[in-house]
Amino acid sequence: MMRRCAVVGNPIAHSLSPTIHRMFASQVGIELQYDAILSPLDGVVGTLNSFFASGGLGVNVTVPFKEVAFGWVSSRDAYAGAAGAVNTIVATNGIHRGYNTDGIGLINDLTTNLGCSLSGKRLLVLGAGGAVRGIVGPLLGSSPSCVVIANRTVARARELIERFEDPRLVAANLERPGEAFDVVINGTSAGLTGELPNMDGSALRGSLVYDMVYGANARVFCAWAIQMGVARVVDGLGMLVEQAAEAFRLFHGMRPDGAVVLRTLRARSV
């Protein structure tokens, strides 16, 4: 029986989600129709209603609709609740439940694909926007010793921290966030415009540096991090694949092997 899923966004033509989910479906042996749907900026509610009314099983939601999806769903998991954003919607008996799989994707890529344990580690997260809100809960669940949220506007970092009320969370100024971090995660949007965050690069030295974006969007930041003496630099393609693997599990009840798909995409130089 053919299952129907989709990714909804604007823009959407660049999305790798159809490729990834079709590869997962082939891997586990199910028939899947997975489409990329371009929704009008002011019409995503109608797009979601139409898709599920026509028998759709599940939807992945990408920019700029994650917050609208949060308000549209019937219920949400804890990660979506903390983030205030939904990137995965599953329909069950007419009920639409929302999830946020971004943080799970990040953790799985770091710990499984990259072999980086976060337990007891000092983590630095750059940025305090929506992308970062989606990963803080899972990061805290990985038992770090502390998570420093560094943002250009420290007040915004403090606002994010207040959502979680965890003593391991610390707000810092992006320019000088401190030193001696085990893992640095770039969640700023600077790379999307080819810019660099205005910060002291010495905070990155000796760390594993992880940029949440991938491909061309990550090259400027990753190249700069290498110049700053970073021990290891990785882009966010693995996070994209692993968040999709978690969404696939929620849609179909089967967990695919994200590492296999990631290796294929890396070989294609995505």
Which of the residues are catalytic? 66
The angle at the Cα of 129, spanning 67 to 85, to the nearest 5 degrees, equals 20
Distance CA 64, CA 52 (A): 20
Distance CA 138, CA 140 (A): 5
Residues 6+ apart with CB under 8 A from 235: 210, 211, 213, 214, 215, 218, 222
Do 70 and 80 meet the contact criterion of CB atoms below 8 Å apart? yes
> Which residue type sits at 269?
S
Distance CA 166, CA 160 (A): 11
